[in-house]
């Protein structure tokens, strides 16, 4: 039985203990045995048959069991910055590849990083233990203290950067990751240097610094060179997909995401596989493959989040799904994922929710009618986004405009929408709906038509919401042929637009069209369908709007009893969400209904 020291780990077969930075960590028995047998035979690769015989003697298991053990082992190694040491050899087996061979505690350590020793209770050991416990603030403070006394290994720089990212301070991670790239390069570890280079590309992209992101991505390609079957190449493909998405090239982005997924799948690396898959789904959604894209995203999240990924990767998986849910108006899924995301963040040591998390939740709350809470949350999101994802500031301002519009604060809504546009975001369809309220239907129509132009991912993913609103405005402005054309596009491919919100908006547009054509009975039916969809979603403001439109039509048709019923439900909703806009419409229709009743009595 042996005692193996590698990186910051120590594995003792005699005591069956695995320690990281001097602190024992929990590990499943099969994972311990898997690591032990690989360390025992670190001079060669072990076939799958050998591993089956060692780990499951006289038991028949599938390759999926071995893949699961390898995935868990890689997660353990990741805590010490050694996840790349576990190599999967496709169609053969596994090998552990260490820059310095694992040595016995009684032997002299080879020269290099491993020779740096630390006394118990030293800042570096405290920092590593804090990372393992996901205490990010403690980790960052201890790493800074250790850096002052030159105790850091290059891998520690990456862990320090991770701690800062988890604290919502990614800009402070940039110099640390730059140092890591340099130090790995000086040590001749070019492939390992690619990983912090890719992380730098990601941080700069999140900050809206596309040129810097492209520069680091190109640097990573140089470092990877011909190692196209490596984990780093898979991450490089994933980052390339994101850059192509920012460059409005969704087809190329989809191809790179597919490559990342295939690399991760071949390596049996759940991080690379799930990142590639989540973005494959994301860009499928952009290109109209809705069902397949949703399936990719849901599976990617299940794969990654069941593999003990770090908080940054987990946040990427959650946020990717939530961006798509919100852009498509898929509010039922969005509500489920935002609640899950909040719990996941808190369970992984993220004391403060990210700006994106707050933004996602704020829009969901706004849709569900909790307007004051939604406004508070989106304002907090704006503050945080300035630090961790300033490129999304425009979308947060759009959401703020939607909240003010729902509440009836038109001046504040217009200010927010204009600020969103100034920040480089398209504030539609909310701005067009505000213009309708202000009697500017022609301006609303023109703005929505412009919103359909372009191939940026928000434009592609929000197309269904914009089209449905455009159809309504086209009918309102007597562009009946254009309204019919848009409705036909929405209904010709129901698999592309299966979301209840888009169907509700399309039903409202058809009702508007039918009223212009004096097909009132059909218009009533479409408004009833819209009410049903909005109720299913749990969107009281949108449901109240549809009910008020229905009440107005029923008054026109002389169905005062039906109008009273719809008006009563809308009024209750208006009071619940505290919307002055809805209250004004209720008062107007109440007066109209009263006039119709008096007229009926007078003619009796």
Q: Are 84 and 204 in the same domain?
A: no
Distances (CA, A) of 195 to 42, 79, 86, 316, 414: 23, 15, 15, 17, 44
- CB-based contacts of 530: which residues, under 8 Å, 6+ apart? 504, 505, 507, 508, 511, 546
Indicate the helix (H) or strand (E) that contains 334: helix 331-347
> How many structural domains is the chain composed of?
3
Residue 237 makes CB contacts below 8 A (sequence gap 6+) with 256, 257, 259, 260, 263, 276
Which residues in the chain show pLDDT less than 70? 1, 90, 99-120, 308, 351-353, 601-604
Residue 114: per-residue pLDDT: 42
Residue 523 lies in a domain: yes
Q: How far apart are CA 311 and CA 303, in angstroms?
A: 15
Q: How many CB atoms lie within 10 A of CB 354?
A: 25
**Distance between CA atoms of 355 and 341, rounded to whole angstroms?**
12
pLDDT at res. 552 = 95
Q: Are residues 227 and 335 in the same domain?
A: yes
Q: Note the pLDDT of residue 352.
A: 66
Same domain flag for 197 and 251: yes
Cis peptide before 315 (omega within 30 of 0): no
Same domain, yes or no, for 206 and 72?
no
pLDDT tens for each residue of 70-103? 888 887 888 787 877 888 776 788 888 886 666 6
Count of CB atoms within 10 A of residue 146's CB?
22
pLDDT of residue 342: 74
Tokens encoding 62: 């599938």
Asked if 471 and 564 sit in the same domain, the reply is yes
Quick one: residue 321, left, alpha or beta (phi over 0 = left, psi -120 to 50 = alpha)?
A: alpha
Q: Tell me the residue ranges of DSSP E strands in 436-482.
A: none
Note the pLDDT of residue 109.
38
The CATH number covering residue 596 comes to 1.25.40.10
Q: What's the confidence (pLDDT) of residue 103?
A: 61
In terms of domains, do 385 and 476 share one?
no
Clarify whether residues 92 and 131 are in a common domain.
no
Classify residue 345: in a domain, yes or no.
yes
User: Alpha helices of 117-209 — where are they, by DSSP H?
Assistant: 123-132, 136-148, 154-166, 174-186, 190-206
What are 392-425's pLDDT values in tens digits? 999 999 999 999 999 999 999 999 999 999 999 9
Query: How many Cβ atoms sit within 10 Å of the Cβ of residue 361?
Result: 23
Residue that finishes a domain, picked among 80, 96, 112: 96
pLDDT on residue 242: 96
Q: Are residues 288 and 332 in the same domain?
A: yes
Helix (H, G, I), strand (E, B) or coil at 17: strand
According to DSSP, residue 111 is labeled: S
Query: Using CB atoms within 10 A of its CB, is residue 396 exposed (0-12), middle (13-18) or buried (19+)?
Result: buried
Residues 228, 233, 239, 244: what is their CA dihedral angle, to the nearest 10 degrees? 0
Domain with 62 in it: 3-96
Q: Is residue 339 assigned to a domain? A: yes
Report yes or no on 110 lying in a domain. no
**Which CATH number do you get for residue 15?**
1.10.10.10
Report yes or no on 424 lying in a domain: no
Q: Per-residue pLDDT tens for 336-371?
A: 887 777 777 777 777 666 788 889 889 999 999 999
When the pLDDT of each residue in the chain is averaged and rounded to a whole number, the result is: 89
Q: List C-alpha distances in Å: 508 to 35, 149, 480, 532, 551.
A: 61, 67, 14, 12, 13
The answer to whether residues 162 and 14 belong to one domain is: no
Residue that finishes a domain, picked among 390, 407, 424: 390
Query: Strand pairing of 93-96 and 23-24?
Result: unpaired
pTM, two decimal places: 0.79
SS3 95: strand
The predicted pLDDT at position 430 comes to 96
| Residues 246 and 194 reside in one and the same domain | yes
Q: Which helix (H) or strand (E) holds 23?
A: strand 23-24
534 φ, ψ (degrees, to nearest 5): -65, -35
Residue 460 lies in a domain: yes
Give a yes or no: residue 593 inside a domain.
yes
Of 352, 373, 390, the domain-final residue: 390
Quick check: is 590 in a domain? yes
Q: Are residues 91 and 219 in the same domain?
A: no
- Among 522, 539, 543, 540, smallest CA distance to 531 is for 543
- What is the pairing mode between strands 17-20 and 9-12? antiparallel
Q: How far apart are CA 231 and CA 268, in angstroms?
A: 10
Helices (H), 41-135: 48-55, 63-78, 123-132
The answer to whether residues 216 and 147 belong to one domain is yes
């Amino acid at each position: 039985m042996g005692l193996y020291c590698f990186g910051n780990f120590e594995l003792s077969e005699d005591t069956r203990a695995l320690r990281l930075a001097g602190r024992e960590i929990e590990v499943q028995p099969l994972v311990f045995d898997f690591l032990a047998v690989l360390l025992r035979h670190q001079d060669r690769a072990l076939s799958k048959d050998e591993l089956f015989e060692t780990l499951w003697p006289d038991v028949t298991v599938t390759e999926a069991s071995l893949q699961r053990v390898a995935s868990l082992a890689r997660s353990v190694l990741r805590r010490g910055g050694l996840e790349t040491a576990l190599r999967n050899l496709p169609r053969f087996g596994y090998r552990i590849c260490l820059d310095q061979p694992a040595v016995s505690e009684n032997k002299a350590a080879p020269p290099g990083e491993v020779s740096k020793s630390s006394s118990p209770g030293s800042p570096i050991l405290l920092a590593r233990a804090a990372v393992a416990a996901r205490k990010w603030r403690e980790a960052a403070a201890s790493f800074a203290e250790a850096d002052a006394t030159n105790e850091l290994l290059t891998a520690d720089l990456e862990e320090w950067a991770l701690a800062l990212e988890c604290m919502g301070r990614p800009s402070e991670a940039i110099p640390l990751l730059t140092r890591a790239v340099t130090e790995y390069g000086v040590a001749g570890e070019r492939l390992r240097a690619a990983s912090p280079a890719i992380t730098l590309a990601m941080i700069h992209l999140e900050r809206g610094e596309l040129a810097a992101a492209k520069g680091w991505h190109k640097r990573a390609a140089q470092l990877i060179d011909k190692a196209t079957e490596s984990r780093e190449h898979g991450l490089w493909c994933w980052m390339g997909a994101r850059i192509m998405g920012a460059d409005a090239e969704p087809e190329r982005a989809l191809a790179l995401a597919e490559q990342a997924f295939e690399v991760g799948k071949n390596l049996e690396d759940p991080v690379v596989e799930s990142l590639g898959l989540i973005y494959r789904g994301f860009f499928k959604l952009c290109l109209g493959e809705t069902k397949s894209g949703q399936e990719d995203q849901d599976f990617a999240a299940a794969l990654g989040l069941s593999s003990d990924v770090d908080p940054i990767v987990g946040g990427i998986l959650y946020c990717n799904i939530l961006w798509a849910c919100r852009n498509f108006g898929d509010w039922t899924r969005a509500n489920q994922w935002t609640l899950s995301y909040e719990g996941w963040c808190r369970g992984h040591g993220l004391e403060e929710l990210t700006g994106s998390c707050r933004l996602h939740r704020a829009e969901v709350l706004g849709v569900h009618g909790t307007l004051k809470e939604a406004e508070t949350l989106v304002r907090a999101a704006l503050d945080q986004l300035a630090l961790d994802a300033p490129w999304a500031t425009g979308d947060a301002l759009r959401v703020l405009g939607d909240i003010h519009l729902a509440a009836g604060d038109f001046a504040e809504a217009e200010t927010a929408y204009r600020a969103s546009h100034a920040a480089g975001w398209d504030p539609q369809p909310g701005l067009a709906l505000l213009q309708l309220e202000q009697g500017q239907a022609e301006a609303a129509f023109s703005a929505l038509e412009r919103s359909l132009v372009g191939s940026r991912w928000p434009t592609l993913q929000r197309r269904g919401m914009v089209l449905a609103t455009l159809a309504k405005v086209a009918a309102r402005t007597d562009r009946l042929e254009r309204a019919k054309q848009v409705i036909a596009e929405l209904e010709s491919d129901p698999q592309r637009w299966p979301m209840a919100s888009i169907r509700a908006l399309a039903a409202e547009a058809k009702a508007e069209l039918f009223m212009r054509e004096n097909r009132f009975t059909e218009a009533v039916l479409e408004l009833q369908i819209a009410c049903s969809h909005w109720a299913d979603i749990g969107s009281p403001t949108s449901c109240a709007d549809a009910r008020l439109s229905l009440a107005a039509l029923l008054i026109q048709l002389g169905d005062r009893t039906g109008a009273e019923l719809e008006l009563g439900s809308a009024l209750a909703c208006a009071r619940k969400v505290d919307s002055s806009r809805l209250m004004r419409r209720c008062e107007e229709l109440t007066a109209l209904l009263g006039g119709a009743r008096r007229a009926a009595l007078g003619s009796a």
